[in-house]
Structure 1
Amino acid sequence: MTTVGHAPPYGLIAGELVAGRAVPFLGAAASYAGVPEDEPRRLPGGQMLAQRLIDVFEGYPGEVSDPLTQVAQYYEECVASHGDICRCFRRVFYEEQQGLPPAPTAELVAAIEPPAERPFVVITTNYDCQLEKALELAGRRYTVVIQDTMPWTTHTLLVRKSGGAGFRAMQGKDLVLDDYAGTTLIYKLHGGFCEGLGDDVDTVVVTEGDYIRFVASLTYNTVPPSAIATHILDKRRILFLGYSMADWNMRVILYQLGQRQPRPYDVPRSWGVRRSVSVVEQRFWDKRDVELFDMDLAEFVVNLHEAIGAAA
C-alpha cells in the first residue's frame, strides 16, 4: 500500500536498522538525494549519465531520451568498447569525487553501528564509493564486496576489507558473513569503483548485454551470493531507497529471493520511499509487501538520521 497522508514510522525503521533486522537497499537516487544540483559532488542519474556518454563519444544516432542501457550498448558495439565506457564511469564516480564529502544517504548508513556478532549488510546497485568514504569519516570498519559477472572471469566476487591494499577474488559460495562480524559489509550488486580496484578492472553492469548476463546469473542462483541471500531472508525487512519498480532487474532479484524461501510464511512489511508513484508501480510494490511512502527522499533521510541517533 502506498502511504499518503501520514509520516513513516521513523522510530520503528531506525530501531530495526540499528538492531540489524533490516537491510538497506540503495539505488541511484540515494547517491544524490539532498545534494544541490550545482554541487560538484552531485552524481548523475541514468539520463544524465547517458548524456555524459553522448558528450564523450559523440555521434549518437538515437534520441537523447533513450535509456542509459541502450546508449551504452550502442557505444560498446558501434563506437568504443566496454572498457572505454568503464573508464568514463570511473572518472565520473571515482576520480572526480576525490576529496568531496559523501551524500546524506551514505552518512545515514555510516551512522549505524554494526552489531558485534554479525555484519551490517548494505546492498547497492550504485557504482560510486560514497559509502566507503562516509564510513571512513565515521571511523567504522567495513568490507566491500563487488559482484563480478563478466563472462571471462573465473570468480564471482571481489572482496576488500577497509585498510587492505587491494581486492582478492572469491567464489560466492566461499563468502561467510561471520568472518565480517562487527563491520559494515557493502555489497555492490552492479559492480563499481573504489580504492584498491585497478582502473583496468571492469565490473560494471550498464549495457543491455550486461543486464542479460546479469539476469542469467540470477537464474543460476549465483547472484546474490547464498550467504547474502540467506541474510536478507533471515532479516526479512528491506529499506528501499532510490529505486523504481520500473527497474526490471530489481523485480527479478526480488522474485529470486522469494523463490529461495524455504516455506511460505507471513512476511513483515518492508519499506520504500518514492515520489509520484504510478498506479502500476504501486501494484508492483504492494505485491512484494513493501509499504511505500510518497515523499522526497532527502527529507526522509534527514528524519531517519535523527531517529537513528535517538535509537542508538
Structure 2
Amino acid sequence: MAEPPYGVIWNRLRRGKVVPFLGAGASMAARAPDTTWDPANPASLPSGAELSRLLADETRFPFSRPAETDDLATVSSYYCDMNGRRVLRERLRELLNGDYPCGELHRFLASLEVPLVFVVTNYDSLLEKAFIAANKPYDLVIHPADRRDYANAVLWWPHGAAEPQFREPNRLEQDIDLADTTVIYKMHGSVCSDSARWDNFVITEDDYVDFLSRMTTHTAVPSLFSSDFREKSFLFLGYGLKDWNLRVVLKNLGRDQASREDGTADDEELPRSWAIQRNPSEFERRLWESRGVSIFDVGIDEFVTKLRQQAEGGRS
C-alpha cells in the first residue's frame, strides 16, 4: 500500500503552500483509542454519531434506525423544531466546551512557523487551544450561522481581541495580510470558549442549505481565502466523503482553485492535494481521486509522527 509523500507534503507545508482542512476525525484523534464517550462524565469530545444519538434520545426523535439517529443534521433539525434554536445552542455548548485535551495533530500544526490558513469544519476549539498553549498568534474567522442579522457577514477576531468584528466576507483582504498572519477559519461555526454569546453552529439541515446557497454567491468562503487556495495544496485530515454537504463544498473549492483570471484552467498547473483517512471505502476513494486528491489509508497519529520525523530530518 502506497504511503503519503511525506517529503513533498512537509516541503510544501513549511513553505506555506498547504491549506490544512480539519474534519471530525482530526478531533477524534485526540481521544484515547477504544474509549466510550460518557455524556455524564465526558473525558473527550463526542463523535458526530454519538452527539446525534444523544440529541435524538433527549428530544424523543421519532425514528430509531442508526441511519436516522446518526444523522446529526436531521436530528438537530428536529431538536431545534421541538425545543427552539436557543436550547439547541445551549446544549451544544454544554457538550462541546469542556476542558478536552488537544491531540498530537493540533500541537504539531501549532508548532509550524509559517503563516497558514486552517479550515476547520468541527465545532470544537482544540486547534485554538493548541495555538494558545504554544503562545502562537492567530486570527479567528467564524461563519455566523446563529446571527441572522449578519447572515452575509463573518465574525473576525484579530489576534488578542476579546470581541469579534463583523466583516463582509469579501472585504477581509482589507484587514488581514496572509503573508504574515495565521488564520483559523471555522467554516461551519464554533463553540467559543470565552463567551457563549458568539457560539455559532452550521448543524441543522436548514443551516447547511443556507451555507451552501452562499457558496453559489461566493460569500460562504471569503475571497481572501479562496484566492489564497488557488496555488496551494489541500491537506484533508479526518474527512470522509459520505456527507453530500462536504462534497458540494469541495466541488466549489475546486472550482475556485482551478479558476484563472482569463477564466481558463490548466489541470497540469494545479497542485496535487492529499487526504488522510483510515479505512476509506472504494466509493470515497473514487470521489477523492475524481477531485484531484490522493487518498492514503493512514491513521492521523501515524501520519503526524512520520511528518514530524520528516521535519526533523529523519525517516521512519
- TM-score w.r.t. the length of structure 1 is 0.88
Q: Identify unmatched segments of 5+ residues in structure 2.
A: none
Q: CA deviation at 1:161?
A: 2.5
**1:146 aligned residue:** 142
**1:63 aligned residue:** 64
**1:42 aligned residue:** 44
RMSD: 2.0
Using the alignment, how far apart are the partners of 2:248 and 2:2 within structure 1? Answer: 30
**1:113 aligned residue:** 113
AA at the equivalent of 2:208: Y
Q: Which has the higher contact order (CA 8 A, sep 6+)?
A: 1
Residues 245-264 of structure 1 show CA distances to partners (whole Å, capped at 9, x for unaligned) of 11212221222123331221
Q: CA deviation at 1:284?
A: 0.7
Structure 1 residues 183 and 195: alpha-carbon distance in aligned structure 2, compared to 1, 3 A threshold: farther
User: Is 2:282 aligned against 1:279?
Assistant: yes
Residues 9-31 of structure 1 show CA distances to partners (whole Å, capped at 9, x for unaligned) of 21211121111001100101101
SS at match of 2:276: strand
**2:265 aligned residue:** 264
SS at match of 1:163: coil
User: Is 2:228 aligned against 1:227?
Assistant: no
SS at match of 2:289: helix
Conservation of the 8 A alpha-carbon contact between 1:102 and 1:131? yes
**2:158 aligned residue:** 161
Say which is worse superposed, 136-145 or 296-305, in terms of deviation: 296-305
Q: Identify unmatched segments of 5+ residues in structure 1.
A: none
1:66-77 matches, cutoff 5 A: 66=68, 67-77=71-81
Q: CA deviation at 1:241?
A: 0.4
Using the alignment, how far apart are the partners of 1:71 and 1:278 within structure 2? Answer: 25
1:82-97 matches, cutoff 5 A: 82-94=85-97, 96-97=98-99
AA at the equivalent of 2:87: D
Conservation of the 8 A alpha-carbon contact between 1:111 and 1:308? no
Conservation of the 8 A alpha-carbon contact between 1:83 and 1:202? no
Conservation of the 8 A alpha-carbon contact between 1:272 and 1:290? yes
1:1-312 matches, cutoff 5 A: 5-36=1-32, 37=35, 40-55=42-57, 57-63=58-64, 65=66, 66=68, 67-77=71-81, 79-94=82-97, 96-97=98-99, 100-114=100-114, 119-150=115-146, 152-154=148-150, 155-176=152-173, 178-179=176-177, 181-196=179-194, 198-235=195-232, 237-260=233-256, 261-262=259-260, 263-265=264-266, 266=268, 267-310=270-313
Q: CA deviation at 1:180?
A: 5.1
Residues 76-127 of structure 1 show CA distances to partners (whole Å, capped at 9, x for unaligned) of 11x2112211111112222x22xx431222112102112xxxx411001011
Residues 217-245 of structure 1 show CA distances to partners (whole Å, capped at 9, x for unaligned) of 1111111011101111122x100001111
Using the alignment, how far apart are the partners of 1:141 and 1:294 within structure 2? Answer: 33
SS at match of 2:93: helix
SS at match of 1:48: helix
Using the alignment, how far apart are the partners of 2:103 and 2:237 within structure 1? Answer: 13
Conservation of the 8 A alpha-carbon contact between 1:30 and 1:242? yes
